[in-house]
Amino acid sequence: MKNRITNILPGGIGEELGIEKGDVLLSINGTEVKDIIDYNFLLADEYLEVEIEKPDGEIWVYEIEKEYHEDLGIEFEASIMDKAISCSNKCMFCFIDQLPKGMRETLYFKDDDSRLSFLQGNFVTLTNMKDEDIDRIIRYRISPINISVHTTNPELRVKMLSNRFAGNIYPRLVKLAEAGIEMNTQIVVVPGVNNGEELERTVEDLYKLYPSIQNIAAVPVGITKHREGLQKLDIFNKETARAEIENVKKLQEKYIKEIGTPFVRLSDEFYVLAKIDLPEGNFYDNYEQLEDGVGVIRLLRDTIDRDLDILNQNLKGHFSIVTGVSAYNEIKNVSEKIMKKNQNIKIDVFKITNEFFGETITVSGLLTGQDIINQTKNKISSKYLIMADNMFRKGYELGNIKERVMLDDLKIKNIEQELGVKVIVCDYTGEDLIKLINEHCEEA
C-alpha cells in the first residue's frame, strides 16, 4: 500500500512516539502526502501534526515538535512512496527496447520520473510531465534535476522520441532556468540524426541557459544485436568519432574563454573510438559526469599516478580484473604500473567481449555475469577477482534488493561460485584500487 511504513529507525521520533511497522502515513499538517517529495517538503516545519492510519483502520494524529533538520526516523515500502512514472516515449535509440527477451521484469520498466532524478540521479525527458508537474518542481525547489535533451530542435526531438509532445523541451528548460532550478543535461548522439550541426545547435541553445544548465554530457548511441523491428541506426567509428570531437572542441574552447569551463563534454567512448587521447584532468572540473562515462579514464590515470606511493611494498598478492573492450588497454596499463611498483603483486586482466548484447557494446558498465563467467572459467588462477562498481545495477530498478545484481540477474555469489574466486568491487579511482589491493594482500 502507498505510504506504508516498513521500518522504524532506532532512536528516532517515530520509535519514540510508538509509530509501528505496517502503519500508513496519510497527511502532515493537513496536507495529503502523495509521495516522497511531499513528505520531504512538509517535513521541514518544526511543528507537525502527522496523521497515521493503523492496520485496523483507526486514525491517529501525532503532534510533534522537532528541529528543522530532523526527520521522523521512518522508512517506507517504496523509495518514492508511489509507483514510478513510466516513460511514454518510443526513442529511436532506447536501450531497453534493445534488451533480449526473458530478463527480469523490472529491467523492461522505463522510468521517466523527476522524483527519481532528484533522489537517485536518473535522467528524465520532461515529455511525460504536465505543466503542473513543472510547477511542482519549481515550488518544491527540486534541484538539481538531470534532463535528457538529445536535441532542442522541436521537430527532430518529436522524431527522435516518437512523442508528439517532445518538441516543447526548450520552453520548459527556460521556465526552470528562470526559476533558478539547476539542471544537468545529457545528449545521446546518433550519427546522421542529431550530430554535427544539430549537436552544435543544441549545445549553443543550452549554453544560453548557463549557469542554470550546469553542464552537458554527450554520449554515443549504443546499439545491441537485439534490434528486431527497430529503426536502423548507424554507430560511431574512428573517423566519425574524430569529426565529432573536432566539431565540439571549437565550442569547448569558446566556452573555456568565456566561463572557464568547457560546459559540454564528450564521454570517454568517443576518444577511445577515435584513438585520441583524453583531455587533461582540469578539463573535467570535479568529475561530475562520471555516471555518463565522462572522464572515467582520466580520473583513473591521475589517481593511480597520484596514489601509487600508498601501495604497500611489503605485501604480495595475486588478482584478476575483468573489463570491457573499450577500457581494456587502460586497465592493462594501470595494472602494469602497480606491478612495476611492487613486483610481488601479480594482476591478470581479462578483456570481456559483450556476447550478450553484441560486440558493438564495449563499455564495462553493460557487461553481464554470464559473459564474465563464460570467458574466464578455468582461466582465473588468482584468489580475488576485481570488478568495477558500475557493472552492478543501482537505484529504483532494484527495489529493496540490497545485493549487487548484474544486468542478467546474476549476483556476486553466483560469480564467486562459478569461478571459485572472491569478488572485490572497486569504484572509479586508482586510490580505491590500490587500497583494496593493500587490504587483500599478505606479507611478502
Q: What was the pLDDT predicted at 251?
A: 98
Q: What was the pLDDT predicted at 322?
A: 98
Q: What was the pLDDT predicted at 5?
A: 87
What pTM, to 2 d.p., does this model score?
Answer: 0.81
Q: What was the pLDDT predicted at 103?
A: 64
Looking at the DSSP bridge assignments, the partners of residue 316 are 442
Grid cell 518544526 in the structure block, residue: 46
Q: What was the pLDDT predicted at 333?
A: 96
Strands of 276-356, DSSP E? 315-324, 345-352
| Residue at 80: amino acid letter | I
Q: Rounded distance, CA 210 to CA 300, Å?
A: 29
| Cell, residue 355 | 556476447
Between the alpha carbon of residue 373 and those of residues 355, 362, 388, the distances in Å are: 12, 17, 15
Q: What was the pLDDT predicted at 114?
A: 45
| Cell, residue 201 | 545547435
Q: What was the pLDDT predicted at 211?
A: 97
Q: Rounded distance, CA 307 to CA 310, Å?
A: 6
Looking at the DSSP bridge assignments, the partners of residue 293 are none
State the CB neighbour count (10 A cutoff) for residue 26: 16
Burial class (CB in 10 A: 0-12, 13-18, 19+), 440: middle
Give the pLDDT confidence of 346-382 residue by residue, as tens digits: 999 999 999 999 999 999 999 999 999 999 999 999 9
Residues with Cβ within 8 Å of 282's Cβ and at least 6 positions away in sequence, in order, are none
Domains along the sequence of the chain with CATH: 5-76 (2.30.42.60), 96-292 (3.80.30.10), 301-443 (3.40.50)
Identify the segments of the chain with pLDDT beneath 70. 1, 78-87, 102-121, 394-402
Pairing of strands 145-148, 123-124: parallel
Grid cell 507537525 in the structure block, residue: 48
Q: What was the pLDDT predicted at 117?
A: 43
Q: Rounded distance, CA 391 to CA 408, Å?
A: 11
Q: What was the pLDDT predicted at 75?
A: 85
Residues with Cβ within 8 Å of 333's Cβ and at least 6 positions away in sequence, in order, are none
In sequence order, which ranges of 260-285 are alpha helices (DSSP H)? 268-274
